Chain A
Amino acid sequence: MIYQNLEFSIADLYLLWRGLQWTLLVWSVSMALGIGLGFVLSLIRHARIPVLAQMVVVFVETFRNSPLLVQLFLVFYGLPMVTPFAPGPAEAAIFTLSINTAAFTVVNLVAALDAIPRGQWQAASSFGLSYRQTMLYVVLPQAIRTAIPPTMNLAISQLQTTSLVSIIGVTDLTRSGLVLYTRTLKPFIIWPIIGLVYFILAKVLSLLAARVERRLQAKNTWFEAAA
């Protein structure tokens, strides 16, 4: 008979801790890259730069309308077959989540940019501000404030989504749970704990987001009047 350790030990906590670190790493790096990329793509889309803007639209539609898991498989298994790049699990995970997050960021920010009243552009341009200056000093400060709440919500929901990266072998929180489960065969202990950790993370993030949102609102009583 093969020896199997069915009991939990202190070392298992360390396993969970490592998993949590990977989850947070994959999540924070891909949020930063994704939101940054999404910002640049939004500017291209909003400026209606020929060809590039259409490419952004295709990009966005593709990545927001297909399952993240499929995107993960495509990058992890597909990329090495057609390109010289063979990403490891973590690289593939961060790459895919960044791209996916960028697509949703474009949706949020372009909506916010489009919502800036024409009068704002007219006023700025009538005083001789260039497109770049109008964007920088008039439009973006307003649009970014509008886009912050949905972008924070996106980031919070992407935290849950990171659990999918366990499938391609990233040793994240979910993967650690899987390891412990296969060893101890105690699903009703392992999965509630894993779930609780995700819950706590999400809760902390939402509380932070709510705070940011309250501060934005307090500072910007002007916002409603702008409409």
Chain B
Amino acid sequence: MIEIDNVDKHYGNLQVLSAVSMQFQDGEVTAILGPSGAGKSTLIRCINCLELISQGDIRVDGMSVLDKHRTAEIQKRTSMVFQHFNLYPHLTALGNITLAPTKVLRQSRAQAEAKAMELLKMVGLENKAKRYPAELSGGEQQRVGICRALAMNPRHLLLDEVTSAIDPEMTAEVLRVIEDLAGQGTTMILVTHEIEFARRVADRVAFMERGSLVAHQDADTFFNRQSDERIARFIDKMKH
């Protein structure tokens, strides 16, 4: 379980998160929606200890991000998939996926590679294992990015607009992978602009605006019985 408790985040004078409190239950898929600049990326980066929070607390399976000794463990339990993939360009797809498992989890190369091939097969890229990121399309790179995150056996998968840097005709292949994962009960927090996709996969939806959490509801309520005028308009706009 991930608990966000009254979190503030400042960059200098700029307040990016204000008093955000929410919880993510295990096995749940939560979509985080909201306009650009709302603080969605910042929030999930704070969960992953990539950013320090300014106020409040975040606990991942009971471990506080404020406890420096827990950073490594929290990062093991939470894996990120990035908007711009951030694959290591000097390593093959296989090298990208096996780096952290061999260096951080201390798996043997054979073990890590077997797992990586299994994951690549799952996303339909087993024949691209030896390719470098630059030799892959955006959609393929992001599927490798997902494999890289899953190879760490994370309890919580954090996905930050994973299709927004990909050509539209290739988003489907990435979304299908995520949808499969959602079906398997992986805990996911996904920041997305794909409203239809969120409707299909999310159990719950969080809506953020200007650093604040405006709504956190189950998906059915959020999409079908939305009482907040502004959110309803936002959903409507995102559909087109």
Looking at B22-30, B78-86, B198-206, the stretch in contact with chain A turns out to be B78-86
Q: Tell me the chain B residues, 68-125 only, with Cβ under 8 Å from chain A.
A: 72, 75-76, 78-80, 82, 84, 86-90, 99-100, 103-104
Mask for A123-167, Cβ within 8 A of B = 1, else 0?
Answer: 111111100010001100110010000000000000000000000
Q: A123 contacts B90, CB within 8 Å?
A: no
Segment at the B interface, from A50-58, A91-99, A216-224: A216-224
| Interface pair B88/A126, CB less than 8 Å apart | no
Asked whether A120 is an interface residue with its Cβ less than 8 Å from the other chain, the reply is yes
Give the chain A neighbours of B87 by CB distance below 8 A.
123
The smallest C-beta distance from A133 to any residue of chain B, in angstroms, reads 5
Residues of A within 8 A of B103 (CB): 129, 133, 137
Kindly state whether residue A67 has any CB partner on chain B within 8 Å: no
How far is A133 from B88 in the complex, measured between Cα atoms in Å?
13
Is B170 at the interface (CB under 8 A from chain A)? no
Contact A222 B50 (CB under 8 A): no
CB distance A128 to B72 under 8 Å? yes
Q: In the bound complex, how far is the Cα of B75 from the Cα of A128, in angstroms?
A: 5
Q: Is B236 an interface residue (CB 8 A)?
A: no
User: B135 on the interface (CB 8 Å rule)?
Assistant: yes
CB closest residue in chain B, given A136: B103
Inter-chain contact B88/A119, CB cutoff 8 Å = no
State whether A223 and B89 are in contact (beta carbons under 8 Å apart), knowing that A119-B84, A123-B82, A127-B79 are contacts in the complex. yes
A122 CB–B CB distance under 8 Å: yes
Give the shortest distance, in Å, between B40 (CB) and chain A (any CB).
16
Bound complex: CA A71 to CA B50 (Å): 45
Question: Contact check: which of A117, A122, A138, A224 meets B50 at CB < 8 Å?
Answer: A122
- A1 touches B (CB below 8 Å): no
Q: Is A81 an interface residue, CB under 8 A from the partner?
A: no
Which residues of chain A from 188 to 223 have a CB within 8 Å of any chain B CB?
Answer: 220-223
Chain A nearest CB, measured from B47 CB (Å): 10
B90 touches A145 (CB 8 A): yes
Please give, as numbers and ranges, the residues of chain A lying within 8 Å of B152 by CB-CB distance.
127-128
Selected contact of B89 from candidates A125, A127, A129, A226, CB within 8 Å: A226
- The chain A residue sitting closest to B132, CB to CB, is A222
A82 at the B interface (CB under 8 A): no
A122 to B135, CA, bound (A): 22
Given contacts A128-B100, A133-B103, whether A123 and B88 have CB atoms under 8 Å apart is yes
Kindly list chain B residues whose C-beta atoms are within 8 Å of the C-beta of A11.
none
Inter-chain CA distance A145–B89, complex, in Å, is: 12
A222–B72 alpha-carbon span in the complex (Å): 30
The distance from the CB of A202 to the nearest CB of chain B, in whole angstroms, is 31
Which chain A positions have C-beta within 8 A of B80? 122-123, 126-127
Instruction: Say how far B188's CB is from chain A's closest CB, in angstroms.
Output: 15
Q: Which of B79, B99, B132, B134 contacts A126 (CB 8 A)?
A: B79
Segment 13-67 of A: residues with Cβ below 8 Å from B: none
For residue B128, give the distance in angstroms from its CB to the closest CB of chain A: 14
20 A-B Cβ contacts within 8 A? A119-B86, A122-B82, A123-B88, A125-B50, A125-B75, A126-B78, A127-B104, A128-B100, A128-B104, A129-B99, A129-B104, A133-B103, A137-B99, A137-B103, A142-B89, A220-B90, A222-B90, A222-B135, A225-B133, A225-B134
**Nearest 10 CB-CB pairings of A with B:** A222-B134, A225-B134, A127-B100, A226-B89, A119-B86, A123-B86, A128-B75, A222-B89, A126-B80, A128-B104
List 5 additional contacts besides A127-B80, A127-B152, A129-B103; criterion CB under 8 Å: A122-B50, A123-B87, A127-B148, A128-B104, A141-B90
